[in-house]
Structure 1
Amino acid sequence: MAHILIADDDEMIAEMASEILINAGHACGWVTDGKKALELLRWRRPDLLLLDQDMPQLSGASVLRAMRTSPKLYDLPVIMFTATTGAKDEEQARYQGAQDYIRKPFDEKFLVWRVNQVLKARAERPKHMELHELMERNAGRFDETIREDNRAV
């Protein structure tokens, strides 16, 4: 079960997406603007953020930029969740750091599938990071062992 936050100014869409994701086994909540989303993210970090691109007070793009420059939120997975349909908008969202892009209106099964794909990719990432960190730690030990062997010769 993942904790998912939805930030969307359309309460009906946010509530519907929330219900779909809850029925799929996730914990889910929603806020109606970007400013509230950032406030909540500073208080509690979810596993995933569904972020509407066009919201009052603070746009989804602004929220995403703030997150990517935050030491606490820079790596939080984000799916842009928007009615904007242009390929350029999708490209811009990915450039700004979104992992995926879902257009509204959306299909229930498609939403659950895409959310699960992003969560799965995120779950696999720490394994690679742990391996990388282990290799870095052991590289120092390896260098030390080589120096000791060279002294013995």
Structure 2
Amino acid sequence: MSKTQYTYQTFEQLFAEIDPKVANTFTVEQLEAIKSGFASRGWTRHPLDIRVSVPIPKLRFYLVLLAGLERRSQVRLRSEKSLYPFWTPANILFLIGFLIILSTSSYTIFSSVLSSLTPISSSFHPTSIPWIDDKSECEHTGRIWNNGKCWDSEHSPNF
């Protein structure tokens, strides 16, 4: 769909919402000026424009992320701030969920990168096994009983 067609449909949708008594008072010149204003605004152009339908069973849900240079006037910003407040229950729940997902994935990525940077040691160090407190059980597992403790002489620090 071309920009002109999209803008024209948007204008037609807006015009259809106007009370017919008021809509009939517009002159042809006024209607053309309004259409031209819609076409020149470039409302559909954003450097970052992500629109996704989220497949949640039995729900019709979508997510839109738009970003670009701020072109709105201060008057419009103040007006929209009261019409669309940022701190709503739905926005707060979304932000909490987003931050949980972000922190979880960041932790996973950080752990993965850190473990790949940590050198894997091939040396072994003897250590006592605290949950084995019986000589026969210790020797049965192939370890050494010494000074009342079960010792594993092949313990790896990477374990």
Point out the structure with the larger helix share. 1
TM tier, smaller = under 0.3
TM-score (norm 1): 0.27
When the two structures are superposed, what TM-score results if normalisation uses the length of structure 2? 0.26
Higher relative contact order (CA 8 A, sep 6+): 1
The structure that has the greater radius of gyration is 2
